[in-house]
Structure 1
Amino acid sequence: MLRALILFLLLSITLFAKEITISLKLSWLHQFQFAGFYIAKEKGFYKDVGLEVTFEELDTKNCVVDEVLEGKYDFGIGKSSLIIDQAQGKDLVALLGIFQHSPSVLITTNPTLKTVKDLYKKRVMVTPSEINSISVKAMFSAEGISQKDITIQPHSFKLEDLLEEKTDAMASYISNEPFILDNLGIKYNVIDPRDYGLDFYGDILFTSRKFLEKNPTISRKFYEATKRGWEYAFSNIKESVQIIFEKYNTQNKSLEHLIYEAEALKKLTYDEKGEFGTLSQKRFDEISDIYKLFKLIPPQFNPKKFIDPLGFAKKQVRVGILAKRGLHVTLQRWQRTIDYLNANLGQFHFTLQPLDFSEIPLAIEKKKIDFILTNPLLYIQMANKYNISRIATLQTCCDIKTKPIKSFGSVIFTKVESQINSLEELKGKKIAAVDKNSFGGWIVGYETLFDHGIKLSDIEVSFSKTHDNVVFDVLLGKVEAGIVRTDTLESMDKNKDIDIRNFKILNLQIYENFPFFISTKLYPEWPFAKLEHTDDSLSYKVLSTLIDMNDDLQIKQETNIYGWSIPQDYSNVHQVLKKLRIFPFDQQEITYKDVLITYEKELLFAFGVFGLIMLTLIYTKLSNKNLKEFNERLEIMVKKRTQALKRMNQKLKNLAQTDELTQIDNRRSFLRKTTIYINLAKRNQTPLCFLSLDIDFFKKVNDNYGHHIGDKVLKLFAYTVAKTLRNVDLFGRIGGEEFGICLQNTSLEDAMSKAEDIRKKVSLAYLKTDTQEEISVTVSIGVVEFNDSLTLTSLMKLADESMYKAKTNGRNQIYAIQKKCN
């Protein structure tokens, strides 16, 4: 009875546990602008993850940003101007880009006022805050109109002022005022900053860094449920509008008005790939540049840490790493590599998961990780059991200026004052190793002992879990000798954890270009492997990025690794496992001697028992035959997999250098080759020019025809340009519709001529759709001549500035710092 009562109470507590309350401060009054939040609440998406969410409308007396920072509200809705708050020291983080494009526009009712230039010497009504009106001011500035040339009026938020001609243009929402004007039968013009190259975010969900770091799980749940709410709202507009009309309609809008608002906002919601909620580092950089131009943020400000620091909007990629020296050392050594992957593969968020020897099989089986960096033993075992595949091999280094170290082994050591001077003297002694599955910290060392006639029964082995623990166990006299992987003693000595002079190395071996103490043979370094469920395209991107680390001196210094190579051959590791009968080569042959010993007493019995022994011997033969066949099959499988991996490695090498869509050099390969050309130009004092190319109005191609046509246009563009170039010219895709060309031994005059040839041929090329409609594009090109004062970065920046000048001047043009050609 008592047990039943306790069970009932526990069940009641579980069922009626209080949900966590989250508060959200809106940036305006209730309307469809915040539909995703309402839907997540009303459809139970928040409740599904244990959250109770409350909403608070904007009150003009208080600042949303300050209220979130002060903890009055957990989350808030802001704009692109959150960058300015961040630059001012307000520690905010942006989590979700609700509207990829701002709904803020200028509206005029005067039929003669259609463009920004038409507003010269006119009155423009915007919000009194310079921050909120910056898109309008930047639009005027882009058209060469200064603030002195227009009259800025404080916003009255009364549409009547526009109708009564108290102002000439009014800052409005594309989702609101046009509906009212349409219903009044009044014609109007919309002046959109996007048409002038000024693309700001609309609403952005944000919180304080303090709240995020204290509540990462709650924040992720709120983020995911909110995103789910928005996706439902836009997929079910009529249902969502009805909910808002009945429960959140403080402005008393009609159903028709709310539907209009929904349809208008939907057009502003998704990015160029059709995805919801994304935040782009590139776009934030562009927005920051505008704010810097108007001196609203300091020139050195970088918004990088402000954008989705926990990667909620990105695909999560989990990298498991064998924590051979413990959690702290693993995090310290490998987090910088994870940061490098995050910095160079912006659409993904990589996290590091240190795992001890016993945790790795379960993590792979349960798919808790996507990649694994582990020792060769565990790799071979996991490949056999769970079909993981290596994509790269680690290269360590003693000093970044030396050659990479692609191998490792074991070091068997004792204290310097020990009387033990050879491996043979270890018989009967206590030895510390790391783990039974530690390749460098046990298996390779034991193989060497085995080769010297020392069996497992001849020594007393204890496992200390980490390499550092083994070293300290020897130092403290708990054991008489230890086995760790090579480089452990040197690393601990470098960090001043030990004095390496206190140890004696047994069976010391010398190998050319191998700088560490070693007592054994050498074996290939740790493999970096993908799990079976991990997408191949992601694996290619990760491999390409890891290999790029080889050229980054700073990352080498920070990680203390030389870099990565394509996977090495691990067949000699297979031989060790076979010799020591370790899984998957752990099946043992049954010998006649084994049978005689096993059935010694039975042989004293009569003829019937003898027959039983004969049957056992026959069974033994069959077992050995099957085992031999098994080993032969396994050997064939290993050879086939090795050959397949070699073919895949060549394919990966090609993919790592080529843009998958256009089949020209990708960004990394192009920049690497351009760096070589720049160094040659410096050394030989030969001319070199760099061209920055950007397809004009490419976004309209995607919007009007779809991304599949956009991809075909990019292919046609790349093909057209490539045909005009020499074999020695470099041509690469920088990103999206941006391309670069490096012309070796080419003067500025010749580069301008080449650019003009490209411009003409691109404008003449066209693509036919299924409906036989012809699609053509133009290109804007910036040209810069290299000189010794320039680096690759500054050269590209100047070329980009020239290209943007060509766009500003009307597009389909070439512009160079010293010369312009229409």
Structure 2
Amino acid sequence: MLGGKGLMTTCLIGLLFLAAFMNSVQAQTEALQSSVKTAAQDKMTERKVRVQLKWRHQFQFAGYYAALEKGFYRDAGLDVELLEVENGVVPIDQLMGGAVDFAVADTGALIYRSVGVPIVALASIFQHSPSILMTRGAGDVTDLADLRGRRVMLSGGYMNAELVAMLQAAGLSLEDVELVPDDTSVDALVDGKTDAYNGYLTNEPFGLENRGVDFQVFAPMAYGVDFYGDTLFTTEAKITNNSDLVEDFRAATLRGWSYAVEHPEEIVDLILKKYNSQGKSRAHLMFEARQSIELILPNVVPLGYMNIERWERIAEIFTEQGRLKGPVEMRAFLHPSDDFDRFVDVLYRQRENIGAAVILVIAVLLVLHIASLRIQIRARTAELEVAKKRAEEEARTDALTGLPNRRCFFETASRDIERIKRNDGDMSVLVADIDFFKEVNDTYGHVAGDHVLRKVSEVLKRNVRAGDVAARIGGDEFAFCCPDSGASEAEALAKRLRDQMATQKIDYDGSQILVTLSLGYAQYQPGQSLDELVQNADAALYDAKRNGRNTIGSSQNKVREKAT
């Protein structure tokens, strides 16, 4: 777990990397503008450049052909000549002898650097070396350890360093195998002259497959030995005296490699037309192209990327084999040509801190997201509770008058009547109807009728006790549930409501509307249901209406009292 100090350091590193990246983008833009300007100035005076390849023409050098034929070198003001290897020619020797300006060589260049040869690595094109050991698949060698006491063909000098390291990783030394003379033809393996052959993953497997020869491959990377392949080199003097040329050549070369890996078929056709000194078939070159691109890793790391830690590990292997004569100052040996390469190198070396920072940021974002979700859930739950409560209230309230509606009246009255039954108490129900309400609608309109209903409701609410329930249960019909009230209390309430309403003048649109109420009440009798109680009050109301309106009817004694 990261402590407080480590957490702060990790976050600062993340911020510094972001700032460095933005600076890198700006630097790249400025460099591009400068490159375009330089190319335009130098177009008429191209600089001569000679490049020593490490082998004869094939897809292995596709990026150089692309840069030459697509005009990338010309755009940079360079006149480039590519030189194949001739018998006895060593690329590094050609470079240090001044015969060429740049050379393509293996990681064995470290050995030269360890004895003071001032060579500098500019770009590693192959992120993984294509060098492999091959055996016959039909033989009895199924593992590297089976090569003990067998014949093994290895390239001379430092070129076999990674294969020797692979054998050592498998528990074998050179003394455990029989070394046979190096032969560039895979026929030595096919004809049984050797049990293991040093080949290239990009080349020999194609010939064996076409000949129907069963074989197996042992790659150093599978044994933890991971060398670069085909690195571009120059000299310290060249960088010191002509740094612009070095940077321009490197940038144009990488541009050529970018084109080559994106257009392999076009470059294969170019090789067949102008660079096929080995007479390879198109199928063979396409096989080499596919294998090469997998080793270049263009979609994983920037083309030409070099990591100082990998070079240091390669130096360790050379030292273990007794090949390195002294320490190598990697910062002098490696030459990141621009801020972006330096930035990538820093990113790689700080990958653990960056990983921790990324995990931390993701964790914080996840926590914040979860907290946000919880807040949203709580807020939504509260909204739903309010909406539910509002819906329940609306379902129990008459929208026009604000009084409880029929449903609420019967629910409340049902609870009250059950309580009365248990406690042997009194309870009465009143029902009221506005007299001649239809005439109000016919005379003044339904809007006026709604206004009258609201005003009548206000009168009813003002005149009932706190424990009573006044509800609108129909168009112009109202009901009252009066718990703990006998017939006399119900009759008194009925008279009060009738008299209040008879004296109430309702103003509407310049007119005064007078309305009266007819009421009926009934007292609960033991054993009655709520429906029966309400039916009795309804019957009393109808009796009152038949007796001339503005009247009170009682179900107890059938007495009808007409208002004076």
Among 334, 340, 344, the alignment partner of 1:315 is 340
Change (3 A) 1:256 1:19: same
Give the corresponding residue for 2:146. 118
With the length of structure 1 as denominator, give the TM-score of the two structures: 0.37
8 Å CA contact retained: 2:43, 2:77: no
8 Å CA contact retained: 1:234, 1:266: yes
Change (3 A) 1:212 1:266: same
Query: What's the secondary structure of 1:347's corresponding residue?
Result: helix
Q: CA deviation at 1:175?
A: 0.7
Give the corresponding residue for 1:347. 345
8 Å CA contact retained: 1:39, 1:229: yes
Give the corresponding residue for 2:83. 56
Change (3 A) 1:234 1:313: farther
Q: CA deviation at 1:346?
A: 6.0
Give the corresponding residue for 1:241. 268
Among 303, 312, 315, the alignment partner of 1:285 is 312
Cα distance between partner residues in 2 of 1:212 and 1:292: 28
Q: CA deviation at 1:212?
A: 1.3
Length, aligned pairs only: 323
Change (3 A) 1:16 1:284: closer
1:597-645 Cα distance to aligned partner (Å, 9 max, x none): xxxxxxxxxxxxxxxxxxxxxxxxxxxxxxxxxxxxxxxxxxxxxxxxx
Q: CA deviation at 1:658?
A: 8.3
Cα distance between partner residues in 2 of 1:242 and 1:139: 36
Q: CA deviation at 1:173?
A: 0.5
What amino acid sits opposite 2:281 in the alignment?
A: S
Q: Which has the larger radius of gyration?
A: 2
8 Å CA contact retained: 1:107, 1:189: yes
Among 196, 202, 208, the alignment partner of 1:181 is 208
Cα distance between partner residues in 1 of 2:105 and 2:81: 17
1:47-76 Cα distance to aligned partner (Å, 9 max, x none): 111111001100132321121112110000
Query: What's the secondary structure of 1:659's corresponding residue?
Result: helix
Work out whether 1:145 is the aligned partner of 2:177: no
With the length of structure 2 as denominator, give the TM-score of the two structures: 0.54
What amino acid sits opposite 2:102 in the alignment?
A: F
What amino acid sits opposite 2:311 in the alignment?
A: F
Among 185, 190, 198, the alignment partner of 1:171 is 198
Cα distance between partner residues in 1 of 2:135 and 2:194: 9
What amino acid sits opposite 2:56 in the alignment?
A: L
Work out whether 1:207 is the aligned partner of 2:234: yes
Q: How does 1:292-307 map to 2 (within 5 A)?
A: 292-298=319-325, 300-307=327-334
8 Å CA contact retained: 1:270, 1:277: no
Among 98, 118, 126, the alignment partner of 1:91 is 118
Work out whether 1:257 is the aligned partner of 2:284: yes
Q: CA deviation at 1:299?
A: 5.7
8 Å CA contact retained: 1:114, 1:190: no
Cα distance between partner residues in 2 of 1:313 and 1:246: 35
Q: CA deviation at 1:147?
A: 1.6
Cα distance between partner residues in 2 of 1:227 and 1:660: 32
RMSD: 2.8
Change (3 A) 1:92 1:103: same
Change (3 A) 1:37 1:86: same
Give the corresponding residue for 1:685. none
Q: CA deviation at 1:16?
A: 7.1
Query: What's the secondary structure of 2:217's corresponding residue?
Result: strand
Among 357, 363, 366, the alignment partner of 1:660 is 357
Q: CA deviation at 1:271?
A: 7.1
Q: CA deviation at 1:347?
A: 2.7
Cα distance between partner residues in 2 of 1:315 and 1:274: 12
Change (3 A) 1:279 1:271: farther
Cα distance between partner residues in 2 of 1:36 and 1:267: 15
8 Å CA contact retained: 1:314, 1:347: no
Change (3 A) 1:182 1:314: farther
8 Å CA contact retained: 2:132, 2:218: yes
Among 201, 221, 234, the alignment partner of 1:194 is 221
Q: CA deviation at 1:304?
A: 2.9
Q: CA deviation at 1:136?
A: 1.4
Q: CA deviation at 1:265?
A: 0.5
What amino acid sits opposite 2:46 in the alignment?
A: E
1:570-616 Cα distance to aligned partner (Å, 9 max, x none): xxxxxxxxxxxxxxxxxxxxxxxxxxxxxxxxxxxxxxxxxxxxxxx
8 Å CA contact retained: 1:139, 1:198: yes
Q: Can you give the 5+ residue segments of structure 2 that lack an aligned partner in the other structure?
A: 1-39, 367-564
Change (3 A) 1:29 1:110: same
Query: What's the secondary structure of 2:252's corresponding residue?
Result: helix
Q: How does 1:509-548 map to 2 (within 5 A)?
A: none
Cα distance between partner residues in 1 of 2:262 and 2:298: 16
**Which of 1 and 2 has higher RCO (CA within 8 Å, sep 6+)?**
2
Q: CA deviation at 1:205?
A: 0.3
Q: CA deviation at 1:139?
A: 1.3
Among 256, 278, 283, the alignment partner of 1:229 is 256
8 Å CA contact retained: 1:271, 1:278: no
Give the corresponding residue for 1:10. none
What amino acid sits opposite 1:347 in the alignment?
A: D
8 Å CA contact retained: 1:288, 1:303: no
Give the corresponding residue for 2:542. none
More helix by share: 2
Cα distance between partner residues in 1 of 2:305 and 2:162: 21
